[in-house]
Structure 1
Amino acid sequence: MTNSESETRTVIVEREIPHPPEKLWRALTQPHLIEAWLMKNDFEPVVGHRFNLRGEWGGVLDCEVLTVEPHRTLSYSWNFSHEDAAYDLKSVVTFTLTPTGAGTHLRMEQAGFRPSQRQAYGGAKAGWQQFLANLEQVLAEPE
């Protein structure tokens, strides 16, 4: 592996969400809410829990919960295996919630894109914008 290939890139998307961290945390950790903004899943907010995210496009992401700090930090692996190993993705998604006067500052970071994975990196940049727009719609619905 060349040195440049060992360096990875990170997608970061930040949003100001007009809801308290507790409400945002529910949307990030309850399976029926995750499905409404992200993908079908069998998520549980328990460190070490392995789960799948199933995309409408037919792909399955293999994930494992890495960090659970209620109302503050959630991270999990986000791994995609492809028949062409060049498209395999091993990454980590981290959500960081910071209370603000108007609600919550949400920071989503997906780390682990190899330099050769320009298409996956670009797809993640666009994809997370759409996922987080969906998340804001879910949060806006009455409970």
Structure 2
Amino acid sequence: MSDEDEIVFETALDAPPEKVWRALTVPEYLERWLDRPANTEIDRVASDENRSLTYRWREAVPGAAGPEESFVTFELTRQADGGTWFRLTHRSAAAPVAANTNEPGPATLMRAA
């Protein structure tokens, strides 16, 4: 996976990690804070209370064979002033495509010059 497959956002928040954690885990708060599209389902896949949280996002895309999947990870770090350093990483769940394949087709040989 390359850096092009993920989006990272970082900022300092004027709230302790416990309060940010509640905003990310209490459903009523999450809905108000996250403002996700109506056609998106989320499931919690990993968490370390008040430190990190990962959700799997499944977004229905018109014309696609199935939903697009991605992972959104929130990392919370307590700051000396009592606030939180907040890092959000959104990455695609699509596996990288291999350069070689086992699919039948014409053989391609490369020759050193």
TM-score (norm 1): 0.56
- Give the CA deviation at 1:89: 2.3
Q: Quick check: which has more Rg, 1 or 2?
A: 2
Unaligned runs of 5+ in 2: 95-113
Deviations 1:21-66 (A, max 9, x none): 1111111111111122123xxxxxxxxxxxxx6x3xxx32122211
Q: What's the RMSD between the two structures over aligned residues?
A: 2.4
2:71 touches 2:93 (CA, 8 Å); kept in 1? no
The count of aligned residue pairs is 92
In structure 1, list runs of 5 or more residues that go unmatched: 1-5, 40-52, 115-143
Contact kept? 1:76, 1:93, Cα under 8 Å: yes
- Deviation readout 1:110-135 (Å, 9 max, x if unpaired): 00177xxxxxxxxxxxxxxxxxxxxx
Q: What amino acid sits opposite 1:37 in the alignment?
A: W
Once residues 59 and 87 of structure 2 are traced to their aligned partners in structure 1, the CA distance between those partners, rounded to angstroms, is 22
- Deviation string 1:80-99 (CA, Å, 9 cap, x unpaired) is 12231189521000000011
* Candidates 9, 21, 34, aligned match of 1:13: 9
TM-score when scaled to structure 2?
0.70
* Identical columns (%): 32
Report the CA distance between 1:71 and its aligned residue. 0.2
Report the secondary structure of 1:83's partner residue. Answer: coil
Structure with greater helix share of residues: 1
